[in-house]
């Protein structure tokens, strides 16, 4: 087997509504399965839970602000706690339809209080969660609401003839994060973004050329009119918001850096492509970043994949 059929779902999440966004994502996953896809990427960064648009629209850096506290409290309430099996419906669909899934979430781990992480979740075709990658470094104002992640989720996954891995938004610009995936044999790279062609049009092709891999950039959409009526401080948000906050830009580049799917903007759409592993092997004939063109005797990367936690309990039995 040389090929893999993949779906890239670009849509508008229901902002600050975990359940309704999950239902929308499930619909796209079912459509992708009906089209014969073996992998689907559902929406962009922080799809379930929502990207924290309010921060730059409501003075997010104001310390001890009642407005910011209220927003964060609701944001935390809409986050995903994997331990409560809040992704069960997606896992069940993946198993029943034999389709692998990548999805971006706001994660609230049970052992981290109310700290929130921008996480990218991989669900295998067996319905099991294969990895949860917490964004290593939130970007700029994102640090006001997202905690700093760790390397535990820097894993890749075998999928047909391919090895797939993924990163969140601007950590795709981090060369060592990319290298950690290349070194595990990645040849299909998934990059999720909150949206906008300005993020995806250059780096998608750059990573493809650097890695000689297929690279899928998947984004969400968000317009001023998409904020739900029940959004806290809606008048303030609308008063400071542009008409289009994110315009999509979902796309797919081949291992030669050429477009297979050019960036698609301002449209909710399931994009589908069949990719051929032969192209990876062809392009790596003359350059393989983690293989024959690397110099491990000179340059090596050390990766800490320990999941960080506040306490380690060493209990003894008996006594």
Q: Is 70 helix (H, G, I), strand (E, B) or coil?
A: helix
Which pLDDT belongs to residue 316? 77
Q: 92-141, pLDDT tens digit by residue?
A: 999 999 999 999 999 999 999 999 999 999 999 999 999 999 999 999 99
Does the annotation mark 38 as catalytic? no
Burial class (CB in 10 A: 0-12, 13-18, 19+), 259: middle
Superfamily of domain 3-283: Carbon-nitrogen hydrolase (3.60.110.10)
Over residues 164-193, mean pLDDT? 98
Catalytic residue from among 135, 210, 265, 279: 135
Contact 217, 165 (CB under 8 A): no
| Spatial distance between the Cα atoms of 298 and 43, rounded to a whole number of angstroms | 39
Which pLDDT belongs to residue 86? 97
Element (H, E) at 316: none
CA torsion through residues 138, 139, 140, 141, sign: negative
Helices 88-97/18-34 angle, 10° precision = 10
Residue 285 to residues 162, 213, 249, 258, 278: CA-CA distances in angstroms?
A: 17, 12, 30, 17, 11
Which pLDDT belongs to residue 72? 97
CA dihedral 96, 102, 106, 108 (to 10 degrees): 60
Does the annotation mark 135 as catalytic? yes
What are the boundaries of each domain within the chain?
3-283
Catalytic residue from among 37, 47, 118, 169: 169
Catalytic residue from among 24, 37, 45, 47: 45
Assigned token pair, 81: 């706690």
């Amino acid at each position: 087997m040389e090929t893999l059929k993949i779906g890239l779902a670009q849509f508008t999440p229901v902002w600050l509504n975990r359940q309704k966004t999950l239902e929308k994502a499930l619909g796209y996953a079912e459509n992708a399965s009906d089209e014969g896809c073996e992998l689907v990427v559902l929406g962009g960064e922080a799809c379930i839970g929502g990207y924290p648009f309010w921060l730059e629209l409501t003075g997010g850096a104001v310390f001890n602000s009642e407005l910011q506290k209220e927003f964060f409290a609701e944001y935390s309430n809409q986050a995903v706690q994997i331990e409560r099996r809040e992704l069960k419906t997606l896992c069940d669909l993946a198993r029943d339809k034999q389709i692998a899934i990548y999805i971006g979430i706001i994660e609230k781990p049970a052992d981290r209080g109310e700290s929130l992480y921008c996480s990218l979740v991989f669900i295998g075709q067996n319905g099991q969660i294969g990895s949860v990658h917490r964004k290593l470094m939130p970007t700029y104002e994102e640090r006001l609401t997202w905690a700093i992640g760790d390397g535990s989720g820097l894993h890749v996954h075998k999928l047909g003839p391919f090895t797939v891995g993924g990163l969140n938004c601007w950590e795709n610009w981090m060369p060592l994060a990319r290298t950690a995936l290349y070194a595990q044999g990645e040849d299909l790279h998934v990059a999720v973004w909150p949206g906008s062609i300005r993020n995806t049009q250059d780096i998608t092709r750059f990573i493809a050329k650097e890695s000689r891999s297929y690279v899928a950039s998947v984004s969400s959409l968000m317009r001023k009119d998409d904020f739900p009526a029940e959004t806290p401080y809606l008048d303030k948000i609308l008063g400071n918001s542009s008409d289009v906050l994110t315009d999509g830009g979902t796309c797919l580049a081949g291992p030669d850096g050429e477009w297979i799917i050019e960036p698609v903007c301002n449209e909710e759409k399931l994009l589908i492509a069949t990719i051929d592993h032969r192209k990876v092997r062809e392009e790596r004939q003359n350059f393989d970043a983690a293989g024959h063109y690397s110099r491990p005797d000179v340059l090596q990367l050390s990766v800490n994949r320990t999941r960080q936690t506040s306490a380690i309990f060493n209990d003894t039995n008996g006594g």
